[in-house]
Structure 1
Amino acid sequence: MRRQGAKGDEIIEALIANSATFEKKTAFSQEKYRIKKQKKYAPRVLLRRPSARSICEAYFKKYPNRIGFLRVDALSLLLSLANVSANSDILLVDMVGGLLTGAVAERLGGTGCVCNTYLGSTPSPVEIVRTFNFNNEICKRIVRAPLHDLCSDQTGTKKIDSCNAELNVQISTISIEEMPLPSKHEAADSQTIVSPQSKMGKAPKAGEKASEEALKSWKENGFSSLIIAAPDADAWNLVKVLLPLISYSAPFAIYHQYLQPLATCMHNLQQSKMAIGMQISEPWLREYQVLPSRTRPSMQMSSFGGYILSGTKICSS
């Protein structure tokens, strides 16, 4: 019937008419049979605007290892414990594919700034941010900065920037000298083709490098809060470097799939007297099926949602 161009509803009605046991079933079994056949022969697609909850649930069901097994209730608790609100400057270590970066930017709503820092010279991939379909205003608020630039002083950064500028000038001059000069026809063609593109402005992308003014402001005033989601990194090694970058009395929240790294980090923070009000939370979620006379917990649920260490930074001196 599919090859003949029959619709899904027609196929379902034909299956019901040819079924010898359909009339003997109860009303509940008949409805269940219809739903089962509808999923196979007449699927329905509902288009929705992407959100942090829907994206997190989709990745958790299909690719949980890409987001560090971060469940939606753990994500919401992580944002609440870090006090993510409007006009805040949030420092992130996002090693869960960009899900945390997108969730923080969504809650900020085009205000404040999201700075995703990383170790080394290669930033962590944040490809999930593209699925949020943010506008240009929100994309401008998502920046990246290596940890070396955030920790170094102003004189050091100026020296590094000047050295990099000199190297770039040398490379550009060498490449220009080695390139052959174009002919008159090629020059005319290049002018007609390139000049309209140069006038067009490029749309901002999420994850651009932070400006010098923003880095200077963060070094002087500190960040509003710190959020870490790095399942493959040691929590204490990150916290002892990143915690001095946030302002005093600022909250922090650290997610990890296992308990022991957070327990070790909490013990070291207590010994060094760098934070107060620390606690390790384990989110708990139970899904229910809500139907007439059939309300009960779901048959298959996730029994584990990771752990979150939260606290408030204080002056250790």
Structure 2
Amino acid sequence: MSSENNNNKSRMTWEGCSVLLDINDGDRLVFARLSPAAKLKIGNKNCSLQPLIGCPFGTVFQLDSSSDAAAFLSPFQSKGSVNNTEEIKDGQFQVESKDGQPSGESKDNRSLIDNNTAQSLTGEDIEDMRRQGAKGNEIIEALIANSATFDKKTSFSQEKYRLKKQKKYAPKVLIRRPVARSICEAYFKKYPLKIGFLRVDTLSLLLSMANVSSNSDILVVDMVGGLLTGAVAERLGGTGFVCNSYLGQAPSMDIVRIFNLSDEICKRIVRTSVSDLLSQKESPEQNPKHDVGSLESQSNDQMNASVSMEEISHSSENVISDVGAENAENSSFPALRACKAIKAGEKASQEMIDSWKENGFS
């Protein structure tokens, strides 16, 4: 029963979990942590993220705004697809009805001129409709009804026009689960420098070639903000350990917090420096020259590592934020500071380090 409850919980959002919000089919991607106080700005409207708590991942919401109430997100209900199809004949679109027979109606966009005079509904009229409490879909239908050229367009052009107005007056928000693939795709699309331009196919190849499987202890050198560490921990599923090693200063692992990893998995993500993992085979008195050379080489490696880290690392404050905005701040999501995820990446114990020195990683 407990495993079944955990599976049901993993399918649903909960207070404090991280989500990837896909606004208008990828036009904007936002990482957010759900809480009753969290807010999301869409256009010039601030809406609460509380309706998203307790909903299944993959649910689509639509922005609903009116004059007498604040903007809020409501579940989107699809009206179904268009049944009519079009066939190109002699350079024109021949419309077919539901039974597959030609309707005898031909449409062509060549005679349409975009001179901004086809729409009789003005901006003041739209604002009046909003003040009267009109929803986004009602405004879209009014724009279509007052367009002199909408009926003359092909079905493809009509759907394109409707989609353009929907993104402006009734934007949709899709709740995506933050897993290794979605996180990598989101950062690569909007902020590739943060993850070192790591594509999702390259990440998959790394996990496959490294033979990352359950009950394994994996040594990771993560210079991409914690994306690789989180992907390895996600694949292990709470079995084995992930050791994030580094030279010099410990790198950032903020992206790991977006994965919604359980407490048990977070406890199995540890970090330690490479110098702690190296075995001292010879004492300094036996071979002082070799020791001096190794120290000099290690110092150079640390300098190179710090330079590389400086090139691809940015402020960790911008990790859980709007991926589309390069200079986004956590002030856009005040609830992120109040609801922090379980911290992963504690210092590895000496017993674990000694075990890895003796047995290695698997």
TM-score bracket, shorter-length normalisation: 0.5 to 0.7
Match runs of 1:205-284 below 5 Å: 205-224=343-362
In the alignment, is residue 145 of structure 1 matched against residue 145 of structure 2?
A: no
Q: Quick one: distance in 2 between partners of 1:152 and 1:220?
A: 9
Going from structure 1 to structure 2, the CA distance change for 1:31 and 1:106 (only over 3 Å counts) comes to same
User: CA contact under 8 A between 2:246 and 2:274: conserved in structure 1?
Assistant: yes
In the other structure, the counterpart of 2:212 is: 84
Within the candidate set 235, 250, 256, 1:107 is matched to: 235
- Tell me the C-alpha RMSD between the 2 structures: 1.9
Q: Does 1:132 align with 2:259?
A: yes
Cα 1:135–1:18, aligned 2, differ >3 Å: closer, same or farther?
Answer: same
1:96 and 2:224 matched? yes
1:50 counterpart residue number: 178
Q: Post-superposition shift, 1:205? A: 2.0
- Rounded Cα–Cα distance in structure 2 between residues aligned with 1:57 and 1:211: 34
Which residue is equivalent to 2:250? 123
**Quick check: 1:154–1:216 contact (8 Å CA) kept in 2?**
no
Give the residue type in structure 2 aligned to 1:205: K
| Distance of aligned partners of 1:57 and 1:218 in 2 relative to their CA distance in 1, 3 Å threshold | same
Aligned match of 1:187 = none
State the shift of 1:204 in Å. 5.4
Residues 225, 252 of structure 2: 8 Å contact kept: yes
Change (3 A) 1:213 1:3: farther
* Contact persistence 1:140–1:204 (CA under 8 A): no
**For 2:263 and 2:281, how far apart are their aligned partners in 1?**
30
Deviation (angstroms), 1:153 = 4.3
- Report the residue type matching 2:181 in the other structure: R
Match of residue 36, structure 1, among 155, 164, 169 = 164
> What is the CA distance between 1:6 and its match in structure 2?
2.1
Deviation for aligned residue 1:154: 10
Consecutive aligned runs of 4 or more in structure 1 exceeding 4 Å deviation: 153-156
Percent identity between matched residues is: 78
Write the deviation string for residues 121-161 of structure 1: whole angstroms up to 9, x where unpaired.
x20001111111111011011100011111144999xxxxx
CA contact (8 A) 2:257 2:342 kept: no
Q: Distance in 1 between matches of 2:232 and 2:241?
A: 9
Q: Is residue 197 of structure 2 the alignment partner of residue 59 of structure 1?
A: no
Distance 1:51 1:23, change over 3 A: same
CA contact (8 A) 2:226 2:252 kept: yes
Greater helix share, structure number:
1
Q: Aligned partners of 1:12, 1:70: CA distance in 2, in Å?
A: 40
1:36 is aligned with what amino acid?
Answer: K
For the residues of structure 2 that align with 1:102 and 1:42, how far apart are their CA atoms? 35
Is the Cα contact below 8 Å between 2:257 and 2:343 reproduced in 1?
Answer: no
Cα distance between partner residues in 2 of 1:127 and 1:78: 20
Q: Secondary structure at the match of 2:133?
A: coil
Q: Which amino acid aligns with 2:171?
A: P
Distance in 1 between the 2:215 and 2:204 partners? 19
Q: CA deviation at 1:31?
A: 1.1
| 2:261 partner SS | coil
Give 3-state SS (helix, strand or coil) of 1:32's partner. helix
- 1:214 aligned partner, one-letter code: M
Structure 2 residue runs without a partner (length 5+): 1-128, 284-340
Report how far residue 77 of structure 1 moved.
Answer: 1.0
Q: 1:44 to 1:155 in 2, by over 3 A?
A: farther
1:28 shift after superposition:
1.2
With the length of structure 2 as denominator, give the TM-score of the two structures. 0.47
Q: Do 1:64 and 1:70's aligned partners in 2 also have CA atoms closer than 8 Å?
A: yes
| Residue identity matched to 2:253 | V
Distance 1:23 1:116 in 2: 61
